């Protein structure tokens, strides 16, 4: 059998079920429209957008691209597992703990799979009407993503060890400083 290769299709990074992320082309125009209309800080929109496009600077990706400073795909925070998209956002046990505490603060209980499926839009409605009901929770998730991103780089670049209590305090401080306002 002969396969016709499509030149414009990018190779898909390895993802494990049930954490398979959709390709950016899998998101509906309404989902993109809701994503762009969320009232969230610019820097977290950038982080989130990179996740949706499979362009996060994970260690797996940096090693693949032969970035000299990164010699191992192993996560620098837990030092146990290769850092792929899922691990960088929620799979790292220390980050998962932050997600649980932050969502509990908002009165929500979601499993890691449910969180991942929401932030990747996998299980969200594809039409604007149904999507709008999820906007408040997506905005809360944006706050958690902000803290994950900030604490991630504080740990990597400033050698500031990730502590669950410190990450959660940073999250609460972020909520207090910014509320649900854009910044
Ligand atoms: Zn880790």
Mean pLDDT value across residues 29-43: 89
Give me ligand 1 centre to Cα 98, in Å.
Answer: 13
State what percent of residues in the chain have pLDDT above 70. 83
Could you give the C-alpha distances from 123 to 48, 77, 115, 152, in angstroms and in order?
16, 29, 10, 26
Mean pLDDT value across residues 120-143: 92
What is the C-alpha radius of gyration for the chain, rounded to an integer number of angstroms? 17
Angle (CA) 158 75 69, round 5°: 60
Q: Specify the higher pLDDT residue, 180 or 103.
A: 103
Give me ligand 1 centre to Cα 72, in Å.
Answer: 13
pLDDT digits (tens, 9 = 90+) for 57-87: 999 999 998 888 889 999 999 999 999 999 9
The pLDDT value given to residue 159: 79
Give me ligand 1 centre to Cα 33, in Å.
Answer: 32
| Distance separating alpha carbons of residues 160 and 83, to the nearest angstrom | 18
The pLDDT value given to residue 25: 59
pLDDT for 141 beyond 60: yes
Give me ligand 1 centre to Cα 149, in Å.
Answer: 13
pLDDT-derived band at 43 (thresholds 50, 70, 90) equals confident
Mean pLDDT value across residues 122-137: 92
Give me ligand 1 centre to Cα 119, in Å.
Answer: 18
Mean pLDDT value across residues 79-106: 95
pLDDT for 4 beyond 50: no
Give me ligand 1 centre to Cα 2, in Å.
Answer: 41
Give me ligand 1 centre to Cα 145, in Å.
Answer: 15
Give me ligand 1 centre to Cα 4, in Å.
Answer: 38
pLDDT for 6 beyond 80: no
Give me ligand 1 centre to Cα 77, in Å.
Answer: 5
pLDDT-derived band at 20 (thresholds 50, 70, 90) equals low
The pLDDT value given to residue 23: 54
pLDDT-derived band at 11 (thresholds 50, 70, 90) equals very low
Q: State the burial class of residue 63 (Cβ atoms within 10 Å of its Cβ: 0-12, 13-18, 19+).
A: middle
pTM across the whole model: 0.81
Give me ligand 1 centre to Cα 84, in Å.
Answer: 9
The pLDDT value given to residue 116: 95
pLDDT for 5 beyond 80: no
What DSSP character marks residue 132?
A: G
Task: Give the residue extent of every domain in the chain.
Answer: 26-177
Give me ligand 1 centre to Cα 140, in Å.
Answer: 22
């Amino acid at each position: 059998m002969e396969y016709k290769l499509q030149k414009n299709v990018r190779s898909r990074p390895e993802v494990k079920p049930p954490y398979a992320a959709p390709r950016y082309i899998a998101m509906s125009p309404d989902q993109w429209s809701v994503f762009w209309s969320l009232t969230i800080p610019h820097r977290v929109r950038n982080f989130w957008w990179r996740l949706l496009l499979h362009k996060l600077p994970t260690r797996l990706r940096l090693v693949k691209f032969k970035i000299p400073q990164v010699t191992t795909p192993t996560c620098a925070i837990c030092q146990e597992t290769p850092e792929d998209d899922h691990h960088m956002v929620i799979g790292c046990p220390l980050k998962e703990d932050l997600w649980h505490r932050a969502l509990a603060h908002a009165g929500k209980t979601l499993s890691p799979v449910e969180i991942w499926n929401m932030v990747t839009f996998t299980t969200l409605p594809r039409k604007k009407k149904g999507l709008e009901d999820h906007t408040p929770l997506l905005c809360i998730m944006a706050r958690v993503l902000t803290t994950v991103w900030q604490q991630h780089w504080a740990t990597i670049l400033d050698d500031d060890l990730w502590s669950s209590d410190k990450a959660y305090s940073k999250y609460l401080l972020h909520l207090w400083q910014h509320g649900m306002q854009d910044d």
